[in-house]
Structure 1
Amino acid sequence: MRSRLVLIVISSVIYLSCINNAQKYVQLGEEFLQKRKYERAVMAFRTAIDINPSLVDAYDGLAKAYQALGQISEAIASLEKALRIKPENLEMKTRLASLYLLVSSPQLSETEKIIDEILSANPNYVDAHILKANLLIKTGASEDEILKVFNYAIQLEPQRQESYFALARFLTQRQRYKEAEDILKRALNINEKSVNAYLEYGVFLNTVGRIDEAEKMFERSIDINSQFYPAYEATANFYLSNGELNKAEQIYAKLIENLGSTAENLTELARFYLKTGRENDAINIFEKILQQEPEYTVARYHLAEIYLMRGESEKARKETENLLAYDKKDSGALILRARTFLQENDPLRAIKDLDLALKIQPSSKAGIFYMIQAYLDLGQTEKAELYLGDLQKYYPDYPYSKLLRAQIETLRGNNERALQELTQLLEVSKPSIDQTQEIRDLRKKALSARGLIFLEQRKFQEAEKSLLEAASLEPMLASDMTNLARLHFLKKNFSEAIRLYEKALELDKMNLDALSGLINTLKFNKKFAQAHERLQKAIDENTEIRLLPAFHVLKSQLFQAEGRISEASEELEKAIKINQNYLPAYISYAELLTAQGRIDEALAKYQEVLQKRPSPGLYVLAGILEELRKNWQEAEKNYRKALEIDPDNPIAANNLAWMIATQTQGNLDEALSLAQNAIEKIRNEPAFFDTLGMVYLKKGLYSQAIESFRRATLLDETKSKSSTDNPNPIYRLRLAHALIQAGNKTQAKKELELTIKMERFLKPEDLDQAKNLLRSL
């Protein structure tokens, strides 16, 4: 009995110790909130929850930190957990309902339910009545009904300024400006020392265009309380919105002078520099912060974002490594590191980090978004679609979902479905006065995507219309000019293509797409001297060593076009010497060797790359080279290795199916499954139907073989008519084979005659085969 009592006492002591430790982390989190150290607050509150998962204050504090960081979904989830523990807390219920109204797809029924619960518990709870008015606004109630609720809230507590502010905002939205101003004056009369009253009045005056009066209100707010950070933030934003950048910068200087040169205040100045295009100044500020406070994660996040934007993935990754050293469960840092891998065309490594991030935070919008992009980069549309389902589940009205759906359908070759998605997206993103920048950016991307599909379909008029509209939307990007340049290249308007590529390079002088497009256009027109001169100019102006390998690869391609093979090889060797991990240089080298018939050396180059970074695409290329050497077993091994890494790789699946059916005498059922899987991924590739037809032919299923070969022939005809690709009559020849096996010699004869008419597109041995078959009939 005594031992049992001892155990109870020990357990109680441990339990109380855990509670005390958890409370310490809650207190620490509250301190971080006060100091605007929101990321650290999140960590403190999470630690408290790990110690004591039933601590309401920890979830409540976590919600406040998430809301301050703009992570509304996470804030909602935290408050929902808090209210499951303490459902009677009216203040938390009010904040949760307010957040429900903030999300892109307002949760109206949930908000109404919470309002009813609050008013049942306390009919005079003013915040609930303000919430009710805001809910009525969202549901399109009449102005009289909305005003009645606002006025009742004011009647309940006439000295509460926040109720007047909410009413004034509503009246301003309805352009009832005189009434709104009267309400704001009433609020100010309640307390003439209220900073928030002056800020609200300043925002109103700015909205109605009374800029000078608004400025006085914002200045007054700082005069009243020089220690109140929101006054500086609102005043700086006022100057920024009116293009007075010097005055905005002066406000940030005053913030640092009055509230101290803390990491948080310096970060606000750096963010201002980022907004105004002064990246280098922002970098200097963040580096200064980290010298004083190395563990300040916000600075590292910003630096990583800047370096990613600049394409400096190695620098960005260094910052993410520092973040992960501080907290290995930092999902944001994992996502940032994944983005560096995506920028380096390494989606497999990106997926590993994103998988970890989503285990920590399953509903992360950025995590899911970049996971979809990673699988799209791999061509794995099924997995991309799986994550798109998650994105739509967590964020039903996220507008980028339709753009991602269009990307998936485009990769599958379903251009018409992609166009349907883009058309719907463009319909809901029509220009409007209150349109957000996010929606404008989305519209620009949708127009570009639609234009590029039309370009692929050789619908030049429709493509030009979409691409020109995309280019007209701010900000003008180098990619806008590059897309239009591609259009004019395909229309053989080469002088205009060159002009547009040059314009793209004016916008972004180191844009590789624009530079390679320009060099290829000059090369196509055999203006080699001009191409060399332009490329050398880019090399001379380049200040970033990371771009040099790409420039040398371009020079190599230029030399190859001139037939200067030794110089082409030298350029690739230079690229590899500068960056031993630059894969395009190795691949180009292998292609150069292959073109010279030096297959063994080309394979050695691919093996060199594969040792550095196993890649399904490179295993496929190695398999193709082994086929050229008629080394069927090695080719099969390479295709299988590609499928081990990427089970959904359609080219590896198709090529392995072909190998099994035609060379290695393998399992035809496996070949059939592989061929069908390839077609599921890409439905408009004639070569895939050709492979399927060959498998059916080998299995003796002649009607299915005929159907598949006929599909390959029709797809090839369509493809050759809508592009510069030559038709491939080999598909028709194989169709004739299947028809002969099925006993349909009459139709086989017609197909062979059509095949022979296209003799200039046939290899001599295939042409002889067609003629011999025709004679035998």
Structure 2
Amino acid sequence: MNFQECPRARSLRALTVFLLALLVALAASCTSPEKAKAEYLRQGEALLKDRRWQEATIQFRNALQIDDNLAAAHWGLAQAYEKLERAGDYVEELQRTVKLDPNNMPARVRLASIYLTAYGQKKEGNDQLLAEAARLANEIIARDDKNPDGYILIANVMYFQGGGSPEAAKEAEKKINDAIGLDPQRVESYMGLARLYHLMNRNSDAEGIYKKAISINDRSSLAHGEYGIFLVQTGRTPEAEAEFRKAVEVDPENRDAHKVLASYYLVNQKLDKAEEAYSAWAHKDWDQAEGRARLADYYATVGRFDDAASLYQDIIKNFSDYTRGHYRLGEISLQRGDLQGAGAQVEELLKRDPKDVDALFLRARMRSASGKPRDAIADLKTVLDQDPHSKLGLYFMSDALYRDGQFEQARARAGELERYYQDFLPAKLLQIQISLDSGDFDGARRTADDLLKKLQDATPNGELTPQLLADLKTNALLLRGKASLGLGQKAPGADAGKFIAAARADFEAARTIAPNSPLPYVNLADAAGAENKAEEAQQQIERALSIDRTNFQALTALINLGTATGKLDEARARVEQLAGEQPKSAPLQYLLGQAYRSGNQQQQPDPQRAESAFQRAVQDDDNYMPAYSALAEIYVGTQQPDRAIAEYKKITEKRNDDFVAYRNIGLIEAGRGQLDVAADYYRRVLSIRPDEPVAENNLAALYGDYGKGNAEEAMRLAQDVVRRYPAEPGFADTLGWVYYRKGLYRDSVEQLQKAVAGAAKRGGDNSLYRWHLGAALAKAGDRTAARRELQKCQELYAAEQQRAGKAPTPTPIEDVRRTLESL
């Protein structure tokens, strides 16, 4: 018999199968995210146990993409970030863990300890940190009144809240002894007491406690390691070595002990022992990429780039998913001046993930180094969109903005960096640069000294790679050298020579660290120029250009040297050739304009050729701001104020926070007698940058010279500028003349005497300052001194009328004569 299925039965069964499948799918859609989340969490925790920190972060982040409130994933991330030494991320994840999980006491202990350490380093303005530490410590004790870590935290809170008074110290000491009483064999509690004694400057008591802890358990790597750190902190560095070695000996599997020993040798420049210690630490996890990377990073730190690159090549060959290896290889290539090699690693990383943060950082650094700050800014914007508070993102962004001439935005980003991460070393670099730009060479030098001192003790970590540390040291040396050069230009005789020698030493040290960077050679050329060694300066510039033939700073130095030595035609020809090879390069067109704008007795300036080149630059790149400024300066020099203002307005249309352009428009308007318009522009400058000294001074001067504006405002502005720039004669003259207008003649004389003395010391004695001083002395009743100053004023005025190449000083000579006659 031929059995056939009923069509209707077949269709019903098909419908049943479909409905069952749909129910299964619906059930899966409800449970699979939970299962996936749990699986990611399980894998992350397993990777933590295997010490595969970087890979663990990926799994925990995957879990958080499903459920951002998963406390266990935040806790796992915190532990991974701690091992990767990503301090900012570590704290953030601890905060999230504590917020989401009221039962996680270890997270509370760690976070409270961090808050207390931060408060101890800087108490002013950080009361919230102490309050948070107190809250967490109380939560720990409320959960478990026999938790020794809770007692230790509360002891430190009590000490700080009591301002370190004897009573507070006594109570804190008692509280930690209570913690010790809970378990007299617990080494960690003795460490808490020893650290408290050290905080109280009771170092002999602290040492006694460290030794007692070791006597209780001489196999404790923690006790030996902490004692070693104490010995370093108290200036007994050689003795610390034995304790660090003992920590490794008693617990050879303790990676932290190995790391501390290796870092000790590195910081103290015992490189033979350092390599041995780093190798031992690395071989504890040689079967993992991060283990081998420890030794590779050591090689990079001490300048053994070939060894570092070779080991990293081996790492990415054996561990193809270790993206950090490509980043580090790219950094090493960048350090060696191999932009092509660095680019290859960036390309590989971005092929895997177009938003890879490490790759974008590296490409941004490459682009900044290649004179393409705007391209770097675009990369860094992508980074900061992902993580608005990224330390490195804010640092590199502030640097790129500064290189692009966006000074106020650079200051804003640097301000965020300073606000969020006060101890982040790279943030100090921009502070040094800002001090240099404002003429505060002493301040720049002091900040650079402090940074270089801190860099001596710095070792690579998850944020500060060996190459970044090397870059920081190179740039700090270059900036300190520039500050010394600036001081040398102002100093007399032998002192000038000392400053220049110091600058040269810094530039040579920078060259040793970064022999394939053109910048140390450019700065060495500046030092040679300051010593009138033109031939050496030329050699240094040629060396820089052999590394990068279109380097902006090197070509600028070439033009300046050619102008000074009568070889400007050669410099012009060289820049013209490069501009011809790269006709669409706005920076090269700009440099060509600068070459023709410069001049000397043998080679006169050619404003028309310069104007043409600058116009070509803005045609090639309408966002290249220096070319607009240069065009404006040409028009000012050729008595075309309307055209100059038009160029500055093009800048303000594109960048409405460019205070320099507004200030320069104000100067032009004041120069042609449009005083109210000038005042409006100066006020616009101060609305953007309230401490801009030229705008402050000139706004005050409008009152002093013409009675324009508010007397009290003028006095406040002038006083502020003189307070910040006490050695600047022009600012003292403005304040003195404002006092004169106010009838404060004694105060006026004091400031105007400073102005005259300062100008004379600089070789800038002039009739206007003498007129102001003479008039103030006359009003103050010192007729003899007034006559002397006014006669000197007439003498200087006569000489100024005869000088070539510089307009006479605008001194009201008829007023001078009338005042003299009245005396």
Greater mean alpha carbon deviation, residues 447-456 or residues 313-322: 447-456
User: For residue 8 of structure 1, what is the aligned residue in structure 2?
Assistant: none
The structure 1 residue matched to 2:217, chosen from 139, 153, 156, is 153
Query: Are residues 24 and 669 of structure 1, via their aligned partners in 2, closer, same or farther at CA, if it must alter by over 3 Å?
Result: farther
User: For residue 709 of structure 2, what is the aligned residue in structure 1?
Assistant: 666
1:238 Cα shift?
6.4
1:730 Cα shift?
0.9
Q: Distance in 2 between matches of 1:428 and 1:212?
A: 23
Q: How does 1:29-428 map to 2 (within 5 A)?
A: 34=52, 36=54, 51=69, 57=72, 60-72=75-87, 75=90, 89=105, 93=109, 119-125=180-186, 149-150=213-214, 152-153=216-217, 209=272, 226=287, 228-237=288-297, 248-249=308-309, 251-267=311-327, 269-271=329-331, 273=333, 278-326=338-386, 332-353=392-413, 361=420, 365=424, 369=428, 372=431, 377=434, 407=435, 411=438, 421=446, 425=450
User: For residue 766 of structure 2, what is the aligned residue in structure 1?
Assistant: 728
Q: How does 1:435-584 map to 2 (within 5 A)?
A: 445-446=479-480, 448-458=482-492, 459-473=495-509, 474-475=512-513, 478-506=518-546, 509-536=549-576, 539=579, 545=585, 547-558=587-598, 562-584=604-626
User: For residue 689 of structure 2, what is the aligned residue in structure 1?
Assistant: 646
Deviations 1:233-264 (A, max 9, x none): 24545666788766655544444454443534
Instruction: Check conservation: 1:658, 1:695, Cα contact below 8 A.
Output: yes
Q: Distance in 2 between matches of 1:147 and 1:100?
A: 25
- 2:652 is the alignment partner of 1:610: yes
Deviations 1:16-35 (A, max 9, x none): xxx99999997797689756
Secondary structure at the counterpart of residue 673 of structure 2: coil
Q: Distance in 1 between matches of 2:762 and 2:708?
A: 32
Deviations 1:353-382 (A, max 9, x none): 4566778x4657379647756xx74xxxxx
- 2:674 is the alignment partner of 1:634: no
Deviations 1:73-113 (A, max 9, x none): 66467658968987994697479869999999799995998
Query: Are residues 280 and 119 of structure 1, via their aligned partners in 2, closer, same or farther at CA, if it must alter by over 3 Å?
Result: farther
User: For residue 143 of structure 2, what is the aligned residue in structure 1?
Assistant: none
- Supply the AA of the counterpart residue of 1:465: A
Deviations 1:592-649 (A, max 9, x none): 1222212222222222222222322211211121122222222222222222222222
- 2:627 is the alignment partner of 1:585: yes
With normalisation by structure 1, the TM-score equals 0.73
Query: Are residues 144 and 98 of structure 1, via their aligned partners in 2, closer, same or farther at CA, if it must alter by over 3 Å?
Result: farther
- Supply the AA of the counterpart residue of 2:572: H
User: For residue 384 of structure 1, what is the aligned residue in structure 2?
Assistant: none
Query: Are residues 773 and 58 of structure 1, via their aligned partners in 2, closer, same or farther at CA, if it must alter by over 3 Å?
Result: same
Greater mean alpha carbon deviation, residues 258-267 or residues 202-211: 202-211
Deviations 1:390-446 (A, max 9, x none): xxxxxxxxxxxxxxxxx38x9476x66777x47985996899999997796556754
1:732 Cα shift?
0.6
1:483 Cα shift?
4.4
1:281 Cα shift?
2.5
Q: Distance in 2 between matches of 1:661 and 1:608?
A: 32
User: For residue 712 of structure 1, what is the aligned residue in structure 2?
Assistant: 755
- 2:796 is the alignment partner of 1:760: no
Secondary structure at the counterpart of residue 598 of structure 2: helix
- Supply the AA of the counterpart residue of 1:626: E
Q: Distance in 1 between matches of 2:300 and 2:412?
A: 41
Query: Are residues 218 and 609 of structure 1, via their aligned partners in 2, closer, same or farther at CA, if it must alter by over 3 Å?
Result: closer
Greater mean alpha carbon deviation, residues 349-358 or residues 104-113: 104-113
Q: Distance in 2 between matches of 1:220 and 1:427?
A: 32
With normalisation by structure 2, the TM-score equals 0.69
1:461 Cα shift?
1.6
Aligned length: 706
1:162 Cα shift?
8.7
1:573 Cα shift?
1.4
1:752 Cα shift?
1.5
User: For residue 24 of structure 2, what is the aligned residue in structure 1?
Assistant: none
Instruction: Check conservation: 1:45, 1:61, Cα contact below 8 A.
Output: no
- 2:765 is the alignment partner of 1:739: no
Query: Are residues 289 and 528 of structure 1, via their aligned partners in 2, closer, same or farther at CA, if it must alter by over 3 Å?
Result: closer
Query: Are residues 275 and 620 of structure 1, via their aligned partners in 2, closer, same or farther at CA, if it must alter by over 3 Å?
Result: closer
Greater mean alpha carbon deviation, residues 176-185 or residues 633-642: 176-185
Q: Distance in 1 between matches of 2:191 and 2:583?
A: 57
Query: Are residues 88 and 115 of structure 1, via their aligned partners in 2, closer, same or farther at CA, if it must alter by over 3 Å?
Result: farther
1:351 Cα shift?
4.1
What stretches of structure 1 of length at least 5 have no aligned partner? 1-18, 378-406, 721-725
1:773 Cα shift?
4.3
Query: Are residues 117 and 584 of structure 1, via their aligned partners in 2, closer, same or farther at CA, if it must alter by over 3 Å?
Result: farther
Q: Distance in 1 between matches of 2:198 and 2:349?
A: 44
1:521 Cα shift?
2.4
- Supply the AA of the counterpart residue of 2:820: L
Query: Taking every aligned residue pair, what percent have the same amino acid on both sides?
Result: 20
Deviations 1:11-64 (A, max 9, x none): xxxxxxxx9999999779768975615876897899899848xx5x56644543
